[in-house]
Amino acid sequence: MADIKLFSIKGKVEELPSKQVTLEKELQKLLEENMSTFFGVTFLKSEYRITNGRMDSIGIDENNCPVIFEYKRSVNENVINQGLFYLDWLLDHKADFKLLVMEVLGQEKAESIDWSMPCVICIANDFTKFDEHAVNQMQRNIKLVRYRKFGDNLIALEHLNAPQVQPIAEEPTLQPIKKNIGKDKDFKQYFAEAGEKHQNLFYSIKDYVLSLGDDISENQLKLYVAFKKAKNFVCVEVYQASILLHLKLNPDTVDLIPGFIEDVRSKGHWGTGDLRIIIKSKEDFEKAQYLIDRAYNEN
């Protein structure tokens, strides 16, 4: 895989040599203490012990999905298979993860866990072309991240793949009959009820967003679809009356238009992003494309 070249351009232009060092405990600690900045993930626990092993790090992302981190410390270590084993274990032990979230972040956060798109992030100073091929064949939400250290104060994280996988279906459970059935609808149900016009409009938005770069992954969650690089930059909800886009942009930097482009920092909503765009037609979508471009380029 191509190497990253980093240059200092202050005064004389000089290349900063990269270091392929063994992943030490200090680097794991750095990533754990700054998971939100690096990956949009809230750190929960280091060296999380399970029945047949120990996960290096575990957290919960901005979409409330579980995230497992595995660090490749030696050439022969197969972190991809390890991560896949831990992911399957977690899906079979949801109550254990819920208890961990409850202990660290509280009851409300524990109740909001979304199991449709759990993720494994494998971190190493290098991967082979066979690693990326294997991940693509698995059709699981496994991400490969390569790191490089430059001197003592710089680190680069390169996301090598953007998995496109189907969400994991929740197991059916017996629920008491409720009067307000609408509260139980998920994205698939809202999408099915949206009608052909808005369904086709969603596909146009999806195609446009994915065309912005090969570093974008599509995560279909329980209530919305998130398009992300390292973090979400646009979340999409589809309804009969409109399509809602939530963009990770500062509303103060945008000309707001009531009923079209709105500041939702003080309003509750699904997904992430403080800027809401209400799409009702192809023309609305075309007018909003420059903001989607900004969200992609600024995140």
Give CB contacts under 8 A, 24+ apart, made by 183-190: 186/222, 186/223, 187/220, 187/221, 187/222, 187/223, 187/224, 187/225, 187/237, 187/238, 190/237, 190/238, 190/239
The pTM of the full predicted model, rounded to 2 decimals, is 0.81
CA-based nearest residue to 58, from 71, 75, 74, 77: 71
Please check the confidence at residue 179 and state whether its pLDDT lies above 50.
no
Please check the confidence at residue 174 and state whether its pLDDT lies above 50.
no
Weakest-pLDDT range from 102-111, 168-177, 178-187, 233-242 = 168-177
pLDDT number for residue 35? 95
Mean residue pLDDT across the chain: 88
Average confidence (pLDDT) over 1-23: 73
Please check the confidence at residue 139 and state whether its pLDDT lies above 90.
no
Check: CB of residue 28 under 8 Å from CB of residue 59. Answer: no
Is 150 buried (19+), middle (13-18) or exposed (0-12) by CB count in 10 A? middle
Angle, CA 18 vertex, CA 15 and CA 23 arms, to 5°: 165
Cβ count near 104 (within 10 Å): 15
Most confident of the ranges 9-13, 83-87, 134-138: 83-87
Q: For residue 192, what pLDDT band results from cuts at 50, 70 and 90?
A: very high
Q: Which domains does the chain have, with CATH numbers?
A: 6-159 (3.40.1350.10), 181-297 (3.90.1150)
